[in-house]
Chains A and B, each alone.
Chain A
Amino acid sequence: MNPIDIRVAPHEPWYKYGVAVLLFEIAVAIAVSGYSLYVTFNGLGGFPGEH
């Protein structure tokens, strides 16, 4: 590891794309969580369209 001072080291260009990917993954996780909570509160049996 390079002993650079992280507090002043600028982010490299790839970093913003990395953050974009992680934000997309978070959005997918929130969608799955939201669907599960929706099911528990609304009492729909099965996946949408199968009830």
Chain B
Amino acid sequence: MRGHKVEQLGIATVGFFWCFLMWFSTATFSPSIAATYHLTIKDLGLLASSAIWMTPAGRIFAGWASDRFGAPRTFAAILAGCGLVSIASAFTTSYELLFAERVLVAIAGVSFVVGVQHVAQWFDAHEIGTAEGLYAGTGNVGAGVGALFLPRMFGTDYRSAFLWLGMIALVIAACYLWRGSSAKTMERRDAVRRGGDLRGMVFVWTRYIAIALMLAYAMSFGLEIALNAWLPGYFARGFHNEILALGFNGVAGIQIAAGTFAAVASFNASLFRPFAGFMSDLFQRRGWTPLPFIAKELSYAPRLHWLAIALILIMLSMIGLTVAGLYGFLPWSIAVLVVLGIFVSFGTGGTFALVPLLFPDRPGIAAGFIGGISTVGGIAYPLIFASSANAHVGYLYVSLYMFAPFIMFYFWAARYERNPQEHGLLGRALAGLSSAPKPS
């Protein structure tokens, strides 16, 4: 196969970065769109939430497609399709049509699982954590970079922004097709292509360890996107008086303060992600397996332990967020949020350091399932936060009633000392697979 793995990592990272820019560009320009079409708050909420409508189902399909047709073709198709619709949206004058077009552009968010599959096809087991972390962490920064620079470059002219974003996406799509290569070796590519059928999908979806990793990703990335949406409102409501006391005045001042505090979790969750992958590699290299119950003999057992530590830390810091909020001491809350963002990155980086190792013949399908279904957390957690009588205790409820059972299930599913992926809701034969399991 042509190419070098660092070049493939670079192509995937640039593609994902640009997809993330397009994914959240609608939100960045929502005030300008609202002013142009005289939108209400309700309309704005609908526009903001539409960004993740297509993600769960889209990632499942994209993961399967990357196994079946190869990551370069799948990624280029996503970039080109979303780019063309983005260009079309720059010339649209009807709000209904613009809304539909931006929902289609948001499909760019499904590209994450395609890049995960692409990187997994090129990097070996001893460096997969750092490679996947660099890909996902650097790509995720596209959301923050877009929010920071797009309004400064284009002002309120969202049409020009959508036009340029779309045109550059077409260029990146062409580069991806030109330089991208599906896998390091033909054997690896063919093995994955053979595994990318419906039976392979049923097999992955019914594995206990795949479900445990999906819940782990819901605890980390699902929580990350939930906090992105929830935290500005939480700080504005839960610390209103404290923010006023800091010298922030009026609605605009409180929005600036709340947005600045909320950005802490988002930045840390994205930017510490490569470090999380590096730590997973380090655990693996040193052979650290400190926790009880979880397997210690598997070739990737230390990575399972690193992820379990991350999940426990996420749960504890969520409880800490409730405690800090109930005390009403804003600096404590921000400090807890700093560590929560870091721990979330440990969870996201730790999960995708494991996925390609557990399902080497179906990395795309597994990434699609784990990365897709888990985004439902982004919708579910804010609903629980909002339904709590006190703004601060929602984190405690989510920790105790969701995260604690998720962690216990993870410990249970990761206890097998041989082939954890062989244990599931359906037997191997019922899942349509008859070949003997590979030793792990």
Contact = CB atoms under 8 A, between A and B. Distances in A.
Contacts of A1: 124-125, 128, 356-357, 360
Given A2-B125, A15-B127, A21 B138 contact: yes
A51 B342 CA distance: 30
Contacts of B268: 29, 32-33
Nearest to A10: B126
A42 B275 CA distance: 30
Contacts of B126: 4, 6, 9
B35 interface: no
B344 to A, nearest CB: 12
Interface string A7-20: 10101101100110
Given A40-B331, A46-B248, A26 B260 contact: no
A1 to B, nearest CB: 4
Interface string B126-147: 1110110110011001000000
A18 B271 contact: no
B274 to A, nearest CB: 4
A43 B247 CA distance: 6
Contacts of A26: 271-272, 275
A39 B257 contact: yes
Contact of B124 (A4, A7, A22, A45): A4
B136 to A, nearest CB: 12
B287 interface: yes
A3 interface: yes
Contact of A40 (B253, B263, B287, B334): B334
B236 interface: no
A46 B134 contact: no
Nearest to B363: A1
A33 B267 contact: yes
B246 A44 contact: yes
Contact of A32 (B253, B267, B335, B356): B267
B256 A46 contact: yes
A7 B263 contact: no
B264 to A, nearest CB: 5
A7 B285 CA distance: 5
B247 A18 contact: no
Given A15-B130, A18-B130, A25-B137, A43 B246 contact: yes
Nearest to A51: B247
Contacts of B264: 32-33, 36
A28 to B, nearest CB: 6
Interface string B260-301: 110110011011101100100100111100000000000100
A25 B125 CA distance: 23
B356 to A, nearest CB: 7
Nearest to A2: B124
B167 interface: no
Contact of A39 (B127, B131, B246, B335): B246
A47 B272 CA distance: 24
B247 A6 contact: no
Given A6-B285, A46-B248, A19 B130 contact: yes
B245 interface: yes
B404 interface: no
Given A43-B245, A43-B246, A25 B271 contact: yes
Interface string B239-259: 000000111110001001100
B278 A40 contact: no
Contacts of A2: 124-125
B379 interface: no
A12 B261 contact: no
Nearest to B260: A36
A13 B285 CA distance: 17
Nearest to B137: A25
Nearest to A33: B338
B18 to A, nearest CB: 18
A22 B260 CA distance: 23
Interface in B159-204: none
Nearest to A28: B271
Contacts of B247: 43-45, 51
8 contacts: A4-B126, A6-B285, A26-B271, A29-B341, A29-B342, A32-B267, A33-B338, A45-B249
Interface of B: 5-6, 124-128, 130-131, 133-134, 137-138, 141, 245-249, 253, 256-257, 260-261, 263-264, 267-268, 270-272, 274-275, 278, 281, 284-287, 299, 330-331, 334-335, 338, 341-342, 356-357, 360
